[in-house]
């Protein structure tokens, strides 16, 4: 039966494709090695908040991405690619990891662009 809010999974009914994708991911069984705790000293997180700076400045927005990568013991473990300008009207997020494959290649048509996230200036 339904929990708070009813709907899918007894918790809530997703109203957008992005919410449905998040719910699908949350309900996906993950391999045991993904769920096991990892000591933080073994983990390195790479962040490139604006990959394609020159393309962004030139207005070639389709080439702009936001990247996150996670390595454990020096080996790639997971990554996320945000493509905020994948099409003129929609972005997409692609993610993957060792043992779980790649997901998110479908468009997220109801994503919203943020013009100023208030994250401050600076950076190269």
Q: Which residues are annotated as a binding site for Mg(2+)?
A: 48, 50-51
3-class DSSP state for residue 81? strand
Using CA atoms, how far residue 86 sits from 50, 80, 109, in Å, is 14, 14, 10
| Angle at CA of residue 91, ends 103 and 93, nearest 5° | 25
Residues 68 and 82: their CA atoms lie apart, in Å, by 9
Summarize the annotated binding site as residue ranges: 48, 50-51
Residues 70 and 44: their CA atoms lie apart, in Å, by 6
3-state secondary structure labels for all residues of 103-121 = ECCCCECCCCCCCCCCCCC
């Amino acid at each position: 039966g339904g929990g708070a809010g009813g709907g899918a999974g007894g918790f809530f009914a997703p109203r957008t494709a992005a919410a449905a994708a998040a719910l699908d991911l949350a309900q996906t069984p993950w391999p045991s090695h993904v769920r096991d705790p990892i000591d933080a000293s073994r983990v390195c997180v790479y962040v490139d908040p604006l990959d394609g700076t020159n393309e962004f400045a030139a207005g070639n927005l389709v080439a702009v991405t936001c990247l996150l990568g996670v390595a454990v013991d020096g080996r790639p473990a997971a990554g996320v690619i945000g493509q905020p300008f994948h099409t003129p009207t929609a972005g997409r997020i692609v993610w993957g990891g060792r043992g779980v494959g790649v997901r998110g290649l479908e468009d997220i048509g109801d994503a919203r662009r943020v013009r100023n996230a208030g994250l401050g200036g600076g950076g190269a």
